[in-house]
Amino acid sequence: MDKVARTAKLTPAALLSQFALEVSAGLAKPGQKELPSKYLYDSVGSALFEVICALPEYGLTRTEEHLLQLHAREIVDQLPRPVVVAELGSGTGRKTRLLLEALSRWQSTWYHPIEISPSALAVLRRELRDINSISIVGFEREYLDGLREVAARRSPGEHLLVLFLGSTIGNFDGSAGSDFLCNLRQMLQAGDSLLLGTDMLKPRQTLISAYDDPIGVTAAFNLNLLARINRELGADFQLQQFEHLAVFNERTRSVEMHLRSRSRQKVAVPEASISIHFEKDETIWTESSHKYSQDELISLARHAGFRPEAQWMDHSWGFAENLWIAQ
């Protein structure tokens, strides 16, 4: 198989227009203002997140990487052949390398990273270009839009493995995660696979420390979202007038990240055609990270139309890789 490294992209104008629309809708939302967490990951945000992953308080990424180092061969040995790989939110591909190297032992493989961050896709291509028998065609798309394109491209007899690592499924609010998995399942054929990373419930203080580190990297990561709106949409957010806040929501079993206004203020976002008023202590909700129980994962899989096939668990941090088969 020839080495390929292409990316199907939306135009910069289309991406900016979509960004403006979602910022406008989120900041104008009655009650709780919010911004989509996917926009945390521009080039600056992606670089800051790499630093977060190295912090001692944030064990999720290190734990998942260790799980894949230990079990990548065991995971791919359970897959049907031939298999095409699609990854939702691929990031830089460092963890994915472990699975692709294991796959390259017994077949040539098409790998389709689906990622809205062009900088992350560029890093991924450099990170993975040396793996033999892997051909890369990336999609600068939303998760399901990209997966729909991958599913349409597969040849008869090919099985699809979808990677959704890093516990990104936990970033969906309420029933949205379950709905997302149901929609994902509709794009698959019976016998296709999903490898799903999930962060498990753990002590409250452990969770808060992971999302509010003492040296302030996570705070910078969160505040960069406002800086990005300033850069790209011409807004006049004064970053010193907002502070990072991490709280654990007992009802939803989720860590929430917010940006809290330090004063009563008004912010204009010209490219989104809005001006927003903030009261002192009012927040913008930027991310949720739901933490799972074992029973919840089984119920979630079955509701979405999957059979839980295997699980690899790290008990020291509390993280699981789950292999589900489409029924």
What pLDDT does 24 receive?
97
Which CATH number is correct for 57-202+291-326, 3.40.640.10, 3.40.50.300, 3.40.190.10, 3.40.50.150? 3.40.50.150
pTM: 0.90
CB of 291 closer than 8 Å to CB of 200 = yes
Looking at residue 12, its pLDDT comes to: 77
Cα distance between residue 196 and residue 209, in whole Å = 24
Q: How far is CA 260 from CA 47, 219, 244, 288, in A?
A: 23, 11, 6, 15
Residue 8: predicted pLDDT: 60
Alpha-helical runs (H) found in 132-260: 143-153, 176-186, 204-211, 217-233
Residue 314: burial class (beta carbons within 10 Å; 0-12, 13-18, 19+) = middle
Q: What is the DSSP letter of 170?
A: G
Q: Locate CATH 3.40.50.150 in the chain.
A: 57-202+291-326
pLDDT of residue 1: 40
Per-residue pLDDT of the chain (327 residues), as tens digits, is 444 555 566 677 888 899 999 999 999 999 999 999 999 989 899 899 999 999 999 999 999 999 999 999 999 999 988 999 999 998 778 899 999 999 988 889 999 999 887 877 888 888 898 888 899 999 988 999 999 999 999 999 999 999 999 999 999 987 999 999 999 999 999 999 999 999 999 999 999 999 999 999 999 999 999 999 999 999 999 999 999 999 999 999 999 999 999 999 999 999 999 999 999 999 999 999 999 999 999 999 999 999 999 999 999 999 999 999 999
